[in-house]
């Protein structure tokens, strides 16, 4: 059902890419409700202390999910976007590198964390965010996504690092 709310935009942001656009899911009251409710039902009986969302679309699902779970929300942002003291982690992209950061006081040692983003492709961003959480002493319960682009190998990369992963739907290709 979730898949039916997601728009595919051919050749965006470059030729040959099939962009999976969740804005159509977010604008639809049923699409948004089903997405948050399905994630909530998966995690409501697990001990979760905080939800961490990755910039920026991870904020859009992570925040209402945290609210529904009755826990706090923590943003992981691109370099230079957080105002207080941060911890950063560099990671490789297809054409270069990037850096994500988290506030150093965002997570307490031993807290159980649900990491949320809209989509997993190669897994680089999720692995970087998970590394930040672990550096602060948090324990990753699971990495949750709306979409898994299965042919890009993110699930396998997360598994090799020891992280469990869940996605509401899968697409072939990028």
Contact in structure between 163 and 140 (CB atoms under 8 Å): yes
The tens-digit pLDDT sequence of the chain (174 residues) is 899 999 999 999 999 899 999 999 999 999 999 999 999 999 999 999 999 999 999 999 999 999 999 999 999 999 999 999 999 999 987 667 899 999 999 999 999 999 999 999 999 999 999 999 999 999 999 999 999 999 999 999 999 999 999 999 999 865
Cα–Cα dist 86/103, whole Å: 4
What is the span of the domain harbouring residue 173? 51-174
Tell me the backbone φ, ψ of residue 168, rounded to 5 degrees: -75, -30
End-to-end CA distance of the chain: 20
Residue 92 appears among annotated catalytic residues: no
Give the Cα separation of 1 and 11 in Å (integer): 24
Looking at 38, 42, 55, 57, which residue is catalytic?
A: 57
Answer yes or no: is 22 within a domain.
no
In a domain, 1, yes or no: no
Rg of the chain, C-alpha, whole Å: 15
Catalytic (active site) residue 111: no
Three-state DSSP class for 39?
A: helix
pTM of the predicted model, to two decimals? 0.95
166 belongs to a structural domain: yes
Q: Give the count of domains, the chain.
A: 1
- Distance of alpha carbon 152 from alpha carbon 67, whole angstroms: 31
CATH of the domain at 86: 3.40.50.2020
């Amino acid at each position: 059902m979730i898949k039916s709310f997601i728009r595919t935009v051919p050749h965006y942001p470059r030729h040959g890419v099939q962009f999976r656009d969740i804005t159509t899911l977010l604008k639809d009251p049923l699409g948004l409700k089903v997405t948050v409710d399905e994630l909530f039902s998966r995690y409501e009986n697990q001990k979760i202390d905080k939800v961490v969302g990755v910039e920026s679309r991870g904020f859009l699902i992570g925040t209402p999910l945290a609210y529904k779970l009755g826990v706090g929300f923590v943003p992981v942002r691109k370099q230079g976007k957080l105002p207080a003291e941060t911890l950063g982690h560099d990671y490789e992209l297809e054409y270069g590198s990037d850096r994500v950061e988290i506030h150093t006081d965002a997570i307490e040692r031993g807290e159980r964390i649900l990491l949320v983003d809209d989509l997993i492709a190669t897994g680089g961003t999720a692995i970087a965010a998970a590394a930040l959480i672990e550096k602060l002493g948090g324990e990753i319960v699971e990495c949750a996504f709306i979409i898994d682009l299965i042919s890009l190998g993110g699930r396998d990369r997360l598994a090799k690092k020891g992280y469990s992963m869940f996605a509401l739907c899968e697409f072939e290709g990028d």
